Chain A
Amino acid sequence: MNSGDTAWVLTAGALVLLMTIPGLAFFYGGLVRRKNVLSILMQCFIIVCVISLQWVLFGYSLAFGPDFHGIIGTLEWAGLAGVGAAPNSNYAATIPHSVFMIFQAMFAIITPALIIGAYAERVKFPAFLLFTLLWATFVYDPLAHWVWGAGGWLKSLGGLDFAGGIVVHVSSGISALVLALLLGKRVGYNHKPIRPHNLPFTVLGAALLWFGWFGFNAGSALAADGLAANAFVTTNTATAAAGLTWALIEWWHNGTPTILGVATGAVAGLVAVTPACGFVNPMNAIFIGIIVALVCYTAVAVIKGKLGYDDSLDAFGVHGVGGTVGTIATGLFAEKAVNAAGADGLLFGNLHQFGVQCLMLVVTIAFAAIMTFIIFKIVDAAIGMRVEENNEIIGLDLTQQSEAAYTVIE
């Protein structure tokens, strides 16, 4: 046991919580209309409550518990049975098992919260709750097991995902796209973004995401060591490159750079460097940042408008597309010189690793899409996923929660 490692991973866990509330809550909350801002804050906040409990009751055991044929963890660790102060050397030999568990809990929390961006402003609260619980249990937990769990089949194939590019971002981003397609557009949406009601909130949220992401990525080293330092440096570098690149593209394409653009680019950079941060060097992190800004900008500003689906806050365009770029980039830029426990990528002569990354990507996309479709159909049949049109027009704050964010009259 190492007290430095333990202290860092505990701190990193708190940083990852900060990403969901208030980071993501305000990032998304600022982007919606004023009549729906509380619904976003509520969804983010209650996901923390619901998934924290799901995780300690059975979620952690499904994801990381003793392996069952590479596809799922058994329920042996349900209720945290046997998950205590003694380290589990399969995951982290120098910190208490319970520290690894609670660090991972924060990842399980933020992943379904990312999907909110796709269905914002138009789902029923009870349907959202049921969907989130089912999605966490039947999509996130198995996928986390495949990629990160001891004995998981993608992990056994040698798939690399340092901090969750696949497990967190591709899974939530693809599910976001499926939901946006199934739910349909918001009333009044016409191929153009609906004006954000409070961009300062969004920028505040993006800044908190950047800050918390150091816990997400550098914490995933599960130790206070040189690998954590590499992840920290590559995370910051790729994010900076992506934010600047996005601003430059806008400048060239629209005539002016925007703060929403810089913030969006930075988040895309954070997403893309997530799977790669512990395997690539800082100079290649710059390339990852530049590439993801180019690709995500095209997805969000060009392709989305043409295809016409309403991914309200670009959960797919940033997390799905950015996670895909990051997963492929890991297969290109990974090098054993950075992380001996990793692998060399295509640029270092290892075509096999590139193939494994692509396989992992295809499997995750297919699994997340099919499962989200099924869960949507179940919830839609049981409760009805979408609010009635009249309630959507009035706004979710009043119709789903009976409260209003802003007073107009004293």
Chain B
Amino acid sequence: MKLVIAIIQPHKLEAVKRELEAVDVNLMTVTNVVGQGRQKGVTEVYRGAKEAGGLLNKVRLDIAVNEAFVEPTIDAVTRGAHTGSVGDGKIFVVELAECVRISSGERGGVAIG
């Protein structure tokens, strides 16, 4: 089992969801986050004073998948979120030690889908 963490542009969420559903990945947790990349955020101006390093709005998806779904998930997120310019986001994949379905008590791979 793997946990796929994707940081994407907020306006790409719908496209990413469509791509994920197309490869039968229907489970995700979505949160609003702020962050910065190589460009170091945006510059904001308040009453004439420039403030560099304002963080950008992003959306984070947490997607738990079984091994067979890892590559399709990565491909789906990439297809949905890609524009080719800086700020498109990142995908992190980490090992997932356990997964429990609270309603039934099922554990492991069977509990993910």
Report the contact-size class of chain A (Cβ under 8 Å from the partner). 10 to 19
Report the contact-size class of chain B (Cβ under 8 Å from the partner). under 10
By secondary structure, the A interface counts as: helix
State the Cβ distance, B31 to closest chain A Cβ, in Å: 12
A261 at the interface (CB under 8 A from B): yes
B51 at the interface (CB under 8 A from A): yes
Task: List residues of chain B with CB under 8 Å of any chain A CB.
Answer: 44-51, 54
Most buried by B among A193, A250, A256, A260: A193
A195 at the interface (CB under 8 A from B): yes
Quick one: which of A252-309 are within 8 Å of B by CB? 253-254, 256, 258, 260-261, 264, 297, 300-302, 305
State the Cβ distance, A185 to closest chain B Cβ, in Å: 14
Q: Is the CB of A253 within 8 A of B51?
A: no
Q: Is the CB of B48 within 8 A of A195?
A: no
Q: Is the CB of A254 within 8 A of B46?
A: no
Q: Is the CB of B50 within 8 A of A260?
A: no
Q: Is the CB of A254 within 8 A of B47?
A: no
Task: List residues of chain A with CB under 8 Å of any chain B CB.
Answer: 192-193, 195-196, 250, 253-254, 256, 258, 260-261, 264, 297, 300-302, 305, 314
Q: Is the CB of A256 within 8 A of B45?
A: yes
The residue of chain B having its C-beta at the shortest distance from the C-beta of A264 within the complex is B47
Q: Is the CB of A195 within 8 A of B44?
A: yes
Q: In the complex the two chains form, what is the Cα distance from A256 to B50 in whole Å?
A: 11
The residues of B that contact A192 with a CB separation of less than 8 Å are: 46, 49, 51
Q: Is the CB of A193 within 8 A of B50?
A: no
State the Cβ distance, B36 to closest chain A Cβ, in Å: 15
The residues of B that contact A253 with a CB separation of less than 8 Å are: 48
The residues of A that contact B49 with a CB separation of less than 8 Å are: 192-193, 301, 305
Interchain CB contact (< 8 A) of B46 among A196, A256, A297: A196
Q: Is the CB of B51 within 8 A of A250?
A: no
State the Cβ distance, A145 to closest chain B Cβ, in Å: 35
The residue of chain B having its C-beta at the shortest distance from the C-beta of A317 within the complex is B47
Q: In the complex the two chains form, what is the Cα distance from A314 to B48 in whole Å?
A: 12
The residues of B that contact A264 with a CB separation of less than 8 Å are: 47
State the Cβ distance, B32 to closest chain A Cβ, in Å: 12
